[in-house]
Amino acid sequence: MNTKGDLMNKRVLGVILFVSVVVGSGVSYRWYQQGSLAVFADKSIRLYAGGKDRELVTKIFKENFYTLTANPDHDFDLMLERRSPNKWETKYFGKMDTYMIYDGDRPAGFISFYMRSTYQGQILFLAIDNEFRGKGYGKKLVQFALDHFKRQGAQVVKIATRVDNKVAQNLYGNFFKFVKENEQDGFIFYRKDV
């Protein structure tokens, strides 16, 4: 005879879905979904958790501040603690996620993104530590963000980079086929329909 607990366990197990997404680079990702909660099963990408993640983000911002932001007052502590792109638009507090990519047990880079509206996703930061560049980690993180935005119902994703950052321009424009919208104040603004 089935107990109430057995029936509940069967229902929970019945709700778990497995989806395999294969991206253009041939890397396989697995998503497990229970109800509305999605968990990324690729253990190399993890939600920012402080500690050594914070150490790497701090290091990258110190070494690459000019490349990452045009705002000399950008507060990355606020960004991480309030999960917000800035301190002025309070409607985004708690809306931005930062994910780390790991090389073994060491954080190698990060991506920060959020839904700017019900139809637009915004990638604010993508950065890989110098020691780990050239391993495809930037591609993996951008694909991760694009997949996330698709699940959230985004119709377009936007991102910007410095005009002198040729590596990022190649990644966004050539590899991911983002379209250049405009160029302003030393930045190139891209969009991609998803």
Tell me the β-bridge partners of 161.
188
Q: What is the mean pLDDT of the chain?
A: 82
- Please give the average per-residue pLDDT across 47-62, as a whole number: 95
pLDDT in tens, 79-105: 899 999 988 899 999 999 999 999 999
Q: What is the DSSP letter of 186?
A: T
Comparing 20-29, 86-95, 115-124, 177-186, the range with the smallest average pLDDT is: 20-29
Contacts of 42 (CB under 8 A, 6+ apart): 29, 30
Say whether pTM exceeds 0.85: no
Residue of 19, 14, 11, 15 lying closest to 151 (CA atoms): 19
In the predicted model, is pLDDT for residue 147 greater than 70? yes
In the predicted model, is pLDDT for residue 24 greater than 50? no
Predicted confidence at residue 42, as pLDDT, reads 67
For the chain, list the domains and their CATH numbers: 1-42 (no CATH), 43-193 (3.40.630.30)
